[in-house]
Amino acid sequence: MSEPVSRRDLLHNVVRGGVLATLGGGALFLVKKANGQVVWQVDAARCVNSRLGDTGAEACKLCTTQCVVALSAVRAVNEHSKCGRCSICPAYFNITSAVDEKGLPSEKLCPRDAITRKPIGKADPEDPANNFYEYIIDEEKCDGCGKCVMKCKEPLGLGSIVLRVRYDKCVNCNRCAISRSCPKDALHQIPLEQALRPPELRPRTE
Amino acid sequence: MKSVAQVGQASWPVKQVLLAILLCLSFAPTLRAQAIPYSRPVETAPQPETIGGGYKTPAVQKPLPRDAVFQMLDVVLLAGAMGISIWLVLKRRNRKWAVALTIGSLAYFGFYREGCVCPIGCIQNVAVALTDRTYAIPMVVTATFVLPLVVALFYGRAFCGGVCALGAIQELVVLKPLSVPPRLDRALGLLKYVYLVLAILLAIKPALGRDFLICRFDPFVGFFRRTGAPHMLLLGGGFLVLGMFVGRPYCRYLCPYGGLLAWCTRLARRGVTITPDKELDCGLCTGACPYGAIDQMRAVRKDCLYCARCYASCPRDGDLARAKTQLVTLS
């Protein structure tokens, strides 16, 4: 070195080395010991909208209103394997509305028109009440208001529609704003790999 | 009443009572059957095999979170943007391109990534992960927290100038900055350390009582997400209006990560330097710095936010020199 290192520079170098070692060591420790990805998810067993026994005209809308992203990251999802494929689906129709000439309720339930259906197999146009339908929820339209979730359960439905966090929309807040206000504490952070397993294999959070 | 009951019991023949009990028992199975709660098994719904015709149950939508590759891309972009910021400000001394980088960072880290992940909030995650053994922290969060600090150890607060979306949105609204009296500036600057300690203390509480103060009271994230609680949007708007006259108020007085960066920057090898000129001691740079980071014609590195305004206003350097400004002596 052409120039002698001043005492101040030397001190700086030593302290900088110490800070670097601390940062590096800390980072290495975190990556080795605590590395993992967690996501927020709704526990259907706790959610007011899908829990049996909680019935009412009004669904809990906190998932829609409390989420920090513009259109809530919580959306209704139809578990097709559980769906009854009913012709008069209480989550698709507003079953208290007037009956039209085909014998079906005249109004839809979804305020955003996110649920569509198509007949399964041979559909009889003359007798729509005896067909089976496949119900698809358009997750781009759904805002997770929970109206359909509230209706799709005993005694009329099978509870196939549940509220679920969409991981691509969720910004994964440290403390989910919905969980902060959820009356039943139904939102929990679970490891990602666990969340991607089907819900029936998921351990219950009690 | 009591006496009547006693009399009745005494007079009943045992045989008839037993018969009555037997009769009741014979009805029991029917009663039990009625007591079974109504349940409709899932099997009554038509399943793919009963529907036939090659019907397949549609898959339940399960959109995945941002791919790990893209998460790493964020870290790479963070590092890259800091590198470019250092090159533009320290080497090229070019404000125009530095502003372009700021706008780019605001667009990507702010409006596209909606302000998450940011190192300011990562303070809390790191604090929790270091104290709670069960807490999982993604590698991306650790990297986002550590990288700007490492860079600050060598080059100063390049993160604040070139990358931080919260800084960028304030950087772009600086209109007519007033100089804050130095003593007031120092006193207000201590607030960020109070905020830092408070945020860490609330974050390392047991899992149920945990609160992430920095994320909850992030004043600008509502703009990035184009939604938010009215009071937070109002607070953000307030900071932006204040920011027109006081340069980057959140960064200088509240940002807890800014505090950490300032500490690291004290050790920096290189930083923005003001070179006094023997023949031209004009001090234009001092007037140009909206952040009070030039003290007696010397850059105060720990307060320097890498905006390169000083270079842009220097007649011997930067844009003015490149434009070949003629200096005239007034006599």
| Alpha-carbon gap: B237 to the closest alpha carbon of chain A (Å) | 18
Domain of A17 in residue numbering reads as 1-34
Kindly state whether residue A50 falls inside one of the protein's structural domains.
no
pLDDT in tens, A178-198: 999 998 899 999 888 888 876
Kindly state whether residue A60 falls inside one of the protein's structural domains.
no
Cβ contacts of A37 on chain B, cutoff 8 Å: 65, 136, 138
In chain B, positions 92-121, which contact chain A (CB-CB < 8 Å)? Answer: 114, 116, 121
CA–CA gap between residue A95 and residue A107 (Å, rounded): 8
| Alpha-carbon gap: B54 to the closest alpha carbon of chain A (Å) | 9
Split at pLDDT 50, 70, 90, the class of B38 is very low
pLDDT in tens, B101-126: 999 999 999 999 999 889 999 999 99
Q: How far is CA B59 from CA A77, A81, A136, A170, B265, in A?
A: 11, 9, 10, 21, 53
Contact between A23 and B63 using a beta-carbon 8 Å cutoff: no
Answer yes or no: is pLDDT of B316 > 80. no
pLDDT in tens, B204-224: 999 878 899 999 999 999 999
Contact between B129 and A30 using a beta-carbon 8 Å cutoff: yes
Cβ contacts of B64 on chain A, cutoff 8 Å: 167-168, 196
Length reported for chain B: 331
Instruction: Determine contact, residues B189/B252, Cβ cutoff 8 Å.
Output: yes
Give the chain A residue nearest B144 (alpha carbons). A27
Contact between B38 and A155 using a beta-carbon 8 Å cutoff: yes
Mean per-residue pLDDT, B73-97: 94
Answer yes or no: is pLDDT of B294 > 60. yes
Identify the sign of the CA torsion B188, B190, B194, B195. Answer: positive
Q: Using omega within 30 degrees of 0 as the cis cutoff, is the peptide bond preceding B117 cis? A: yes
User: Which residues are paired to A41 by β-bridges?
Assistant: A188
CA–CA gap between residue B324 and residue A176 (Å, rounded): 55
Minimal Cβ distance to B45: which of A78, A84, A196: A84
pLDDT in tens, B133-163: 889 999 999 999 999 999 999 999 999 998 9
Cβ contacts of A70 on chain B, cutoff 8 Å: 225-227
pLDDT in tens, B171-212: 999 999 999 999 999 999 999 999 999 999 999 999 878 899
Q: Using omega within 30 degrees of 0 as the cis cutoff, is the peptide bond preceding A191 cis? A: no
Q: How wide is the angle at C-alpha A109 spanned by C-alphas A104 and A111, nearest 5°?
A: 140
Instruction: Determine contact, residues B320/B313, Cβ cutoff 8 Å.
Output: yes
In chain A, positions 57-86, which contact chain B (CB-CB < 8 Å)? Answer: 68-70, 77-86
User: Which pLDDT belongs to residue B315?
Assistant: 80
pLDDT in tens, A50-100: 887 666 668 889 999 999 998 999 999 998 888 888 888 889 999 888 988
Split at pLDDT 50, 70, 90, the class of B44 is low
Phi, psi (5° rounding) for residue B230? Answer: -55, -40
Structural domain spans, chain B: 68-270
Q: How wide is the angle at C-alpha B320 spanned by C-alphas B315 and B322, nearest 5°?
A: 115
Contact between A38 and B38 using a beta-carbon 8 Å cutoff: no
A83 φψ region: left (φ > 0), alpha (ψ -120 to 50), beta (else): beta
Minimal Cβ distance to A136: which of B58, B121, B211: B58
pLDDT in tens, A162-183: 999 988 889 989 999 999 999 8
Kindly state whether residue A24 falls inside one of the protein's structural domains.
yes
Cβ contacts of B218 on chain A, cutoff 8 Å: none
CA–CA gap between residue A83 and residue A139 (Å, rounded): 17
Contact between B130 and A12 using a beta-carbon 8 Å cutoff: no
Answer yes or no: is pLDDT of B322 > 80. no
pLDDT in tens, B227-281: 888 999 999 999 999 999 999 999 999 999 999 999 999 999 888 888 766 667 7
| Counted domains in chain A | 1
Cβ contacts of B40 on chain A, cutoff 8 Å: 84, 154, 158
